[in-house]
Amino acid sequence: MDIKNDIPQEENKDKAETEEVLISGEKEDNETFNDNIAFKYLKELSSHMELENEDGEVKSSFQFIEEVDHNSVLANYLNKKAAEKEEDHNFKIIPFGFNLSQKEAVQTAFDNKISIIEGSSVSSSTDAILNIVLNAVINDKTVAIISESDFFALKFVEILNKVDMDFIIDNIIDNESDYSKDKIEQWLSLKRSQFEKRNLHKERGELKDIQNTLREMLENEDKLSLIQMEKANLLNEISIPDNGKKITLPASILLQSADKIMLLLEEYTMLIKKDKYIKFLNKIRFLFKYGISEFGFYNNKFENVKKLLINRYNQLKISELDVEIESLKNKLDRYIIEDEIIYHKENSLSILKGILYERYSKKTDAEILENEEGNNSEDTIKKNKAVITSINSFKKSMNGWKLFDYVIIDEAEKIDIFSGALILACARNIVLMSDPNQVFDGPYDKTNNVWNEIYKEYSPDESYDYLNNSLLSSITRIFPDTPKTVLVKKYRGSRNPVNLYN
């Protein structure tokens, strides 16, 4: 099956007419890059690429691009022009691996034209990709996942198959689609009794409340961990004065709050550094400000006074932290986070299926009329499907892709800039998945001297150097302020984390 006839398209016809083609002669709708050094460099690279298939599609792909769609990330990449942030206020459903970093990753992906998600855990990264894909699909956005290989691409299909939602993914291998209209119709038939009379608007509102409470409890859990660490550090700092005799703080200081004692210590230290001792006028000022009437207290060695003040501050701060710790523990003891995450996932998936049932059942009804009129009904359902493919399969059929609303690149640190540029040409927004434990080894034929010769001939910015940059490093050098979310995954109690999060 030719992929050119089975690709996602925009719902809005007017928008599609201006943005659907990457290669166009309509210069009023596209930005000219013929004089752009980086673009010329990439085109020259493509003319020296080895053929990826017998038709030479990869070699010639960049040669065919005379104009770059100004809505694509490639336009920003070549111009080094960062896009303005546009916040997406739609409620995000996070069924897979819900935690604070997953929520942040999804929101950041929809708020920014270019975003990075970093995670050393394969399951956490997979969760983030699936969460983004599902939110894109239910909001009528086209989305593509570009994986390192066809084998890794299958993991997303398998996970969605386990939750009975694999029909939203169209897996493209070697330019062949696995799309099945029968699979969707069968799914709709099985779900009809379950979803026909549901109030999804009300259910989404309830899910939002569940998610907000869960977020608050996760924040409390993180706060509790930080406070306990702070308490442990304060306990380690408590020491005993070592001047050979016991000295004590004046009773007036013992009545002060922790913050007031810290303020006294700062002033005391500043005066000692300045004058080497506490002058009489300062003793009078401290009498009114801190109630210190025992002037003999100032005869003690500064180091011992400093230790006493620090100890008193630590003791008071520890008491304050104990109150916070007890309060947070009481809240968390009444709320079992593990169970709520499972409950949240079940509700999220149920609502997602309900939304998809409404959408696809309506499209199926519309197909009846289209069939009568002799139109191609398959494209009607496929408009909102997600596409998943490997980098090689993508490049082989690159000339047939349209502009996706979102493209997610898995393991972006392994993608060279030439392959990456082809993907950017097809992306309105891009999400780069990164593993800090992976490194870029360079292109497969890095010993070829022609790459250095081309680089010297065009002399583009170092950020575009084909030999020494992955797509990830290139983008982070060009756009150093690209928002990045670091995924954090917690394993809780004795529960099986694989079952809990996947």
Position 489 pLDDT exceeds 80: no
Residue of 198, 158, 499 lying closest to 351 (CA atoms): 198
Token pair in block for residue 92: 């995000």
Mean pLDDT to the nearest integer, 451-478: 93
CA–CA dist 9, 12 (Å, integer): 9
pLDDT at 187: 86
- Give the range among 49-53, 171-175, 393-397, 495-499 with minimum mean pLDDT: 495-499
Position 494 pLDDT exceeds 50: no
pLDDT at 249: 87
Confidence of residue 281 (pLDDT cuts 50, 70, 90): very high
pLDDT at 214: 95
Mean pLDDT to the nearest integer, 123-141: 94
Tell me, rounded to whole angstroms, the distance of Cα 354 from its chain centroid: 26
Position 415 pLDDT exceeds 50: yes
Position 339 pLDDT exceeds 50: yes
Q: How does DSSP classify residue 177?
A: E
The answer to whether the CB of 113 falls within 8 A of the CB of 83 is yes
The identity of residue 359, as a single letter, is R
Question: Which of the pair, 124 or 239, is modelled with greater confidence?
Answer: 124
Position 81 pLDDT exceeds 50: yes
Taking the CA atoms of residue 137, residue 138, residue 139 and residue 143 in that order, the dihedral angle to the nearest 10 degrees is: -10
Position 31 pLDDT exceeds 70: no
pLDDT at 116: 97
Mean pLDDT to the nearest integer, 65-79: 86
Confidence of residue 173 (pLDDT cuts 50, 70, 90): confident
Mean pLDDT to the nearest integer, 55-73: 66
Mean pLDDT to the nearest integer, 11-31: 41
Would you call 429 exposed, middle or buried from its count of C-beta atoms within 10 A (0-12, 13-18, 19+)? buried
Position 301 pLDDT exceeds 60: yes
- Give the range among 114-128, 188-202, 270-284 with minimum mean pLDDT: 188-202
Would you call 97 exposed, middle or buried from its count of C-beta atoms within 10 A (0-12, 13-18, 19+)? buried
Mean residue pLDDT of the chain comes to 81
pLDDT at 406: 95
The answer to whether the CB of 468 falls within 8 A of the CB of 474 is no
Q: Where do the domains of the chain lie, and which CATH numbers do they carry?
A: 3-179+385-501 (3.40.50.300), 181-242+332-380 (no CATH), 243-331 (no CATH)
Give phi and psi for 250, each to the nearest 5.
-60, 150
Position 245 pLDDT exceeds 90: no
Report pTM.
Answer: 0.79
Alpha-helical segments (H) within 196-276: 200-237, 251-254, 258-275
Residue 449: its H or E element: none
Confidence of residue 492 (pLDDT cuts 50, 70, 90): low
pLDDT digit string, tens, across residues 144-162: 999 888 787 788 889 999 9
